[in-house]
Amino acid sequence: MRPVKAIFEDDTGMTLVEVIIAAVVVMVGLVALIAAMPLGTSQIGGANLKTTATFLAQQRLEQIKNATWTITTPCPLTTTPLGCDHLGGGGSNGAAAVTEGFWPDEAYGTIIFPGSEDCAGNKRSGGCRFRRQVRITDCSVASCAGIGTGTATVDTLRQVAVIVFFSPLAGTGMGQTTGNTCEGSTQGEECVKLTTLIAKRP
């Protein structure tokens, strides 16, 4: 093969062999780029799902933090009895949805927010890919973060966990995963879980 300098100085240009080698090098680069595109698209889609799941978990957590749970202040529009519990989860070990029904489990296609259109039909927009659970633990009944099991003196403290489940994307669409899984997830589901402690207000 001729030196590069000789190629540029020669008016006859490149030989057929040199053109073929250059074409092969370009093709190898293009094939690698095309092969990487589905993976990149999958990563972007997965990040979008995790961002939306985090938003949905944070949304519910803020609603729970604003719920009335007081020692002496009565519930809204009432005068008796003293104290109010719209948080729920009193006496709960956090294993199931609270029996008061303030924060029921939400199945796929039931969470209403922009983008969750026509979940029962064929449209199946991005908002239909999530389900959400709330688990509230009474810290006087079961162990909370950093608090010993069954400490009766902490009956004014509850641990709240909001879990949003979703099916991740693979390079060719919906796929199975062994990534972020939570208790209660089914095969192929990933999840986002946010946990906080809430104290009873005066």
Question: pLDDT digits over 19-67, tens only?
Answer: 889 899 999 888 888 887 777 777 787 888 899 899 999 999 999 988 8
Assign 132 to helix, strand or coil: strand
Q: If we measure between CA atoms, which residue out of 136, 156, 166, 130 comes closest to residue 71?
A: 156
Assign 160 to helix, strand or coil: strand
Does residue 81 register a pLDDT over 80?
no
Give the start-to-end residue ranges of the domains of the chain: 4-199
How far, CA to CA in Å, does 84 sit from each of 42, 121, 131, 144, 191?
47, 41, 29, 22, 32
135-165 pLDDT, tens digit per residue, is 998 888 888 877 766 566 677 888 999 999 9
- Identify the pLDDT of residue 125: 59
Does residue 174 register a pLDDT over 50?
no
Distance, CA of 140 to CA of 67 (rounded, Å): 20
Distance, CA of 40 to CA of 21 (rounded, Å): 29
Residue appearing with tokens 């698209």? 41
More confident residue, 56 or 91: 56
49-58 pLDDT, tens digit per residue, is 899 899 999 9
- Identify the pLDDT of residue 71: 78
Q: What mean pLDDT, rounded, does the chain reach? A: 78
- pTM here is 0.72
Q: 133 and 104 in contact (C-beta within 8 Å)?
A: no
Please tell me the number of Cα atoms within 13 Å of 134 on its side-chain side.
27
Does residue 191 register a pLDDT over 50?
yes
